[in-house]
A = this chain, B = another copy of it.
């Protein structure tokens, strides 16, 4: 469904949000440890998230990654997925045709569009804040 990079990206963003709720800025090392991901690769992905204004980074000692409280409401999964995997998941044909639309559909077009709309709606309506608070309460996990 999502690329590995995107999976790590979402997990990282959720972890950063969780810590930011406590006013803590976190380093790549800590993030990678807490979400069980390769450090250097995670650093790359965080660069993308930073460039896309999904998380905020601060260099130097006491630096690290954080997310403003307001941004946790604004930023949803759809934005993270788009920043890392692009929009192929929303746009492409399920069977890989270059041109596939309502007027010249592939055999799976209609059914695929339904599923994808559901996915898209779900991603758009799921905010970082929602995911972070689930974690905070101990209902969900980012490791194992």
Contact = CB atoms under 8 A, between A and B. Distances in A.
Interface of A: 1-2, 4, 7-8, 10-11, 14, 77, 89, 92, 94-100, 104-109, 111, 114-115, 118-119, 122, 126, 131-132, 134-135, 139-144
A88 B10 CA distance: 19
Copies of this chain present in the complex amount to: 2
Contact of A109 (B77, B104, B114, B140): B140
A129 B70 CA distance: 51
A106 B118 CA distance: 19
A111 B132 CA distance: 15
17 contacts: A1-B94, A7-B95, A10-B95, A11-B96, A97-B142, A97-B144, A98-B144, A99-B144, A104-B144, A105-B140, A106-B140, A107-B134, A107-B140, A107-B141, A108-B131, A109-B140, A111-B122
Given A97-B143, A107-B142, 5 more contacts: A1-B89, A97-B144, A105-B141, A106-B141, A115-B119
A109 B100 CA distance: 31
A139 to B, nearest CB: 8
A132 B14 CA distance: 44
Contact of A8 (B4, B94, B96): B96
